[in-house]
Amino acid sequence: MLSERRQRVLRALIEDYIQYALPVGSRTLAERHRLGVSPATVRNDLSVLEDAGFIQQPHTSAGRVPTDAGYRTFVDELLSSGLAEEERPHPSMVEELRASASELDALMERTSAALARLTDCLSIVMAPSVFSGRIRQLTLVSLSNYQAIVIVVAEDGQVVNRTISFTDEVTCDELAAAQNLLNRVLVGQSARDVRRNLDAGTIEALRDPLVQLIIDEVVECLGESDGNRAHSLGISSLLRQPEFSDSKALLPVMEVLEDDRVLLHAFDDTVDGDGPVMVRIGHENPTSELAGVSIVACPYGRGDSEGVVAVIGPTRMNYAGAIRAVRAAQCVLHDE
């Protein structure tokens, strides 16, 4: 448990690092912020914070930078204090966005563009159907002992298919057994339900590697059937961030975000249309490729009309601004 003074020191360091993207020293903190203590005391507080894992020193002679744990403490304080919620979206902003786009797709596109502009991050607005499209029937057709086609019929009548390759031999009987099991478990379920059921580990039979492989392909099928219903903008904004000035640093992030399974898993915690903002920082994300970014997301809509709005940026993002921005987008999209 940090003392109030050390919380102020940590907050000041993170705010400076967010603004300037440079390691922060004790003298700089003492001069820029009214901490009420000497640089020597600040230096001692920084050592304690470093020992506790909240900050680190990238080089021996450099100042300190926050760690994921430091950002987590900072964000938890923002959320618990309500500081990030102080500025609600102005009614005119909500009405302007809605008036300029009568169709949901157009409104999503404009909202995504506004998010990218306001946060200097990558923005993602996912349509409700990406999450709520439910399965009516699943069919597996064997092409050989090492390849099959999965055909998914959704409740809205869409039919999608995908070829699956197996590393080990799969007989027709094994494929038929997997088909029967999956139809019993998945019919009437959405892609999000499928992922949550797997994570909860509620059905032991689904732990079979063959069944898990097929489920992953089903999730991708459902995602691809509505691929045009996920609007993302702001890659150029990310490239302007110091962390991604070399485009090669951003490439792994973009590649993993193109995987619908990763996106669905990344947004698992965004539930209930009036739910709180979800913030995942660095290594809290589901894959190592996302360890250098943070995700701020919240849901909009309810039930089968539930979608997700999010921003993705460096761990050095302006969390208060990002939280306010996704909340504003939630208000814009909520009743559509």
CATH class of 88-130+230-333: alpha beta
- The C-alpha atoms of residue 11 and residue 39 are separated, in whole angstroms, by 16
State the span(s) of the chain assigned CATH 1.10.10.10: 4-66
Look at the block and give the residue holding tokens 């998914």: 152
CATH number of 134-225: 3.30.390.60
Cβ neighbours of residue 141 closer than 8 Å, sequence gap 6 or more: 148, 149, 151
Topology of domain 4-66, per CATH?
Arc Repressor Mutant, subunit A (1.10.10)
Q: What is the largest CA-CA distance in the chain?
A: 75
What pLDDT, on the 0 to 100 scale, is given for residue 129?
Answer: 57
Query: What strands lie across the sheet with 122-126, from one edge to the other?
Result: 230-233, 122-126, 307-314, 293-300, 278-281
What pLDDT, on the 0 to 100 scale, is given for residue 296?
Answer: 93
What pLDDT, on the 0 to 100 scale, is given for residue 267?
Answer: 73
What pLDDT, on the 0 to 100 scale, is given for residue 334?
Answer: 65
- The C-alpha atoms of residue 66 and residue 73 are separated, in whole angstroms, by 10
- The C-alpha atoms of residue 156 and residue 170 are separated, in whole angstroms, by 31
Question: For residue 193, what is the enclosing H or E element?
Answer: helix 191-200
Helices 209-225 and 191-200 pack at an angle, to 10 degrees, of 150
Look at the block and give the residue holding tokens 């698992």: 268
Helices 172-186 and 209-225 pack at an angle, to 10 degrees, of 60
- The C-alpha atoms of residue 66 and residue 14 are separated, in whole angstroms, by 6
In terms of Cβ atoms closer than 10 Å to its own Cβ (0-12, 13-18, 19+), residue 99 is exposed
What pLDDT, on the 0 to 100 scale, is given for residue 229?
Answer: 55
- The C-alpha atoms of residue 279 and residue 175 are separated, in whole angstroms, by 40
Distances (CA, A) of 278 to 59, 74, 85, 193, 302: 32, 14, 14, 19, 17
Residues of the chain with pLDDT under 70: 82-107, 127-133, 156-158, 190-207, 221-231, 259-265, 268-275, 302-305, 334-336
State the span(s) of the chain assigned CATH 3.30.450.40: 88-130+230-333
Helices 319-333 and 68-81 pack at an angle, to 10 degrees, of 50
What pLDDT, on the 0 to 100 scale, is given for residue 173?
Answer: 92
Q: How close are the terminal C-alpha atoms of the chain, in Å?
A: 43
- The C-alpha atoms of residue 226 and residue 206 are separated, in whole angstroms, by 25
What pLDDT, on the 0 to 100 scale, is given for residue 311?
Answer: 92
What pLDDT, on the 0 to 100 scale, is given for residue 273?
Answer: 45
- The C-alpha atoms of residue 260 and residue 194 are separated, in whole angstroms, by 13
- The C-alpha atoms of residue 197 and residue 64 are separated, in whole angstroms, by 42
What pLDDT, on the 0 to 100 scale, is given for residue 263?
Answer: 67
State the span(s) of the chain assigned CATH 3.30.390.60: 134-225
